[in-house]
A and B are shown apart, each in its own frame.
Chain A
Amino acid sequence: MSEPLLKVEHLDVGFKNRKSFVKILDDVSFDIQPGETVCIVGESGCGKSLTSLAIMGLLPPGGRIAGGKIIYNHEDLTKKSAKEMSNIRGNEISMIFQEPMTSLNPVHTIGKQVAEAILIHQSVSKKEAWDRAIELLRLVGIPSPEARVKNYPHEMSGGMRQRVMIAMALACRPKLLIADEPTTALDVTIQAQILEQMNELKKRFGMAILMITHDLGVVSEMADKVIVMYAGKVVETTDTKRLFQNPRHPYTQGLIASMPRLDKEVDELPIIPGNVPAPEDMPTGCRFSTRCPFATELCRTKAPGLYGDEAHRVSCWMYTNEWAGGGQEHATGETIKL
């Protein structure tokens, strides 16, 4: 396997509240190869967006990286200064968000905003930047871009605005594009357009995509590799085909089963009982143990590691020697089956 483009190692992120430091992300590790599409999937509050913000160095006020490394291009992004990070953002790593209306400035034309992104990062004249902006808008599938550059964001539809966001993100040919729920606010027919466009641009520029989504359907259409997160932890990572054919973690299994599907008919949907625990009172053991149908005393008292190999990792005691009745004290987490 080649050198990964981005490697996140044992990342801990948390927030300070009045009394204590509440850890939200706990020991998150994964890597992204050049040109690969990786999806982080999980429900609200699982920490998927926080992970992407940590990589971008854009944690909200009060948020802090408490441990771990984010290695990009042999350098640790967590050690970079604010100025160095702003140089990396846009040039090397770009990001698009869910809400294309609030991410665009309502008082400037979209042409000006795209051109500005080019001017900040590259030494070109204003005229060149404007021409490149038109080219970029054409590239992301906006019809008659020469006329559209003069539009304000409110004059465009949601799908068109998201295309503008993608154009801005691509202005400097980043090697990694982070897309946080890029199509969640869009209708399905528009979502299909945007996803296809992203796949095409990815092929053309050979960039890697880190996509954050709650939609397993989108994962299936886009991802090479999937990271399933639950309550701030990675619970399973594997390639897309394997995840859907052979999900291992009880949470992943429950999530897949609870989606209503077009190709299957059931009277009652299988459910995951209960709710995600609040960050302040996470269970001491496995964070899923409060809702897991297989949970034992071991699960409730001791948090599992991430077991398995490069192709498939799972954070669950079921796939270790201990599960078969070994002593809890010597829990080594050696994998016996996957």
Chain B
Amino acid sequence: MQPEKRSNSESILEVKGLKKYFPVSRKHTVKAVDDVSFEVYEGETLGVVGESGCGKSTMGRAILYLQPPTAGQVTFNGKDLSTLKGRERRKLRKEMQMVFQDPYGSLNPRMTVGAMLGEIVRTHRIVPKHEVANYVRELLVDVGMKPEHADRYPHEFSGGQRQRISIARALAVQPKLIVCDEAVSALDVSVQAQILNLLRKLKQERHLTYLFISHDLSVVKHISDRVIVMYLGKIVEMANKHDLYAQPRHPYTQALLSAIPKMGEEKRERIILKGDVPSPLAVPSGCPFHTRCPIAQKVCAERKPEWHKVGDGHYVACHFA
């Protein structure tokens, strides 16, 4: 499954056969991420969608080696992360940053915003010492805050402002890639729109690449260029966003899109999936989706579907797509 190269864009991140297993007892293993491969092109936003437990967040962490993967290869800018040790890996990690969902839990409550950002800038020697304070203030302005906010503590800010601070923290080390893990999910709609616009502006100004993980298909459609759909630790479909949303090929993607309540639309027929997502401890045989799939046949329980191409850059893992 080698996605074809796009002529005008280089891949910045390459993930090959990535696995992350968690042993829960001697006999059982949770395969949170199971053999996932894809590329992220420089300057694009790649959206990752799926429901809770599909492994999208674990995948984000494994890519950054926050939780080293069980198997597989992560290549960033031509360098294989698994072969790098200590200082080399830290250096590379500076180029890959993460923004988390919870702006309350991910900021140190005992440090002022300026002290926190300053510490990062000094540790990584981003600018000379005497310029740190200035750099931090400029950073805050860049994310839509005021320079004087540097002297305040996280609890003095609203959820949206805290998320701006989290983004400033990620930007402080001048990364190339940012993994956004449900970065706008805890925010109210009107604030969510502000943060989405900010992410877009920063991407253009700083030539960033995003891996944007979210459960919200509307948000992912808004911000992404291409989208990956995950189910039970596997990628079931990948396409550019126009193809994916206009012509979803995997029955799971179709059901997901159909399940979203849409604004200002008359009541309509929807695909309602039966049952719950199976436990990741007992992933169904064959196609992991066959237990809930409306078009499942005998073969789906027996054989794993091939990952195959169905259109330009459009891939799907389903026997009948």
Contact = CB atoms under 8 A, between A and B. Distances in A.
B256 A189 contact: yes
A267 B200 contact: yes
B250 to A, nearest CB: 13
A188 B260 contact: yes
A237 B215 CA distance: 30
B190 A188 contact: no
Interface string A240-273: 0000110000000011101111110011111111
Contact of B197 (A244, A245, A261, A269): A269
Interface in B48-66: 51-52
B263 A216 contact: yes
B4 interface: no
Contacts of A193: 272-273
A190 interface: yes
Interface residues of B, number: 41
Contacts of A273: 194
A263 B262 contact: yes
Interface stretch (A76-84, A217-225, A318-326): A217-225
Given A217-B260, A220-B261, A256-B263, A196 B217 contact: no
A202 interface: no
B189 to A, nearest CB: 6
Interface in B27-70: 51-52
Interface string A69-95: 000000000000000000000000000
B192 interface: yes
A273 to B, nearest CB: 8
Contact of A244 (B190, B193, B256, B264): B264
A188 B253 CA distance: 12
Contacts of B217: 188, 262
Contacts of A188: 51, 215, 217, 256, 259-260
Nearest to B268: A221
Interface string B255-294: 1111111111101001011011100000000000000000
Interface centre among B161, B190, B194, B275, by most chain A C-beta atoms within 10 angstroms, is: B190
Interface residues of A, number: 43
Interface centre among A143, A192, A218, A255, by most chain B C-beta atoms within 10 angstroms, is: A192
B182 to A, nearest CB: 13
Interface of B is mostly: helix
Contacts of B275: 143
Contacts of A143: 275
A232 interface: no
A173 interface: no
A157 B276 CA distance: 7
A262 B221 contact: yes
Contacts of A256: 263-264
B271 to A, nearest CB: 8
Contacts of A219: 263
A160 interface: yes
Nearest to A157: B276
Contact of A192 (B158, B215, B218, B270): B270
Contacts of A195: 261
Given A187-B277, A196-B272, A220 B262 contact: yes
A231 B215 CA distance: 28
Nearest to B266: A241
B197 A259 contact: no
Contacts of B161: 275
Contacts of B160: 275
Contacts of B52: 187
B239 to A, nearest CB: 15
Nearest to B262: A217
Contacts of A268: 197, 200
Interface in B146-190: 158, 160-161, 188-190
B261 A218 contact: yes
A261 B190 CA distance: 14
A189 B191 contact: no
A44 interface: yes
A229 to B, nearest CB: 13
Given A187-B215, A260-B222, A262-B245, A192 B192 contact: no
A159 B276 contact: yes
A188 B49 CA distance: 11
Nearest to A187: B51
B92 interface: no
A327 B23 CA distance: 74
A189 B222 CA distance: 20
Contacts of A99: none
6 interchain residue pairs of minimum CB distance: A244-B264, A217-B261, A260-B222, A258-B193, A187-B51, A43-B188
17 contacts: A159-B276, A160-B276, A188-B215, A189-B255, A189-B256, A189-B259, A189-B273, A192-B259, A217-B262, A218-B261, A220-B264, A244-B264, A259-B263, A260-B221, A262-B257, A262-B262, A266-B222
Given A187-B51, A196-B270, A271-B190, 19 more contacts: A157-B277, A188-B215, A189-B256, A189-B272, A189-B273, A192-B261, A192-B270, A192-B273, A217-B260, A219-B263, A221-B261, A254-B190, A258-B189, A258-B190, A259-B193, A261-B263, A267-B200, A269-B196, A269-B197
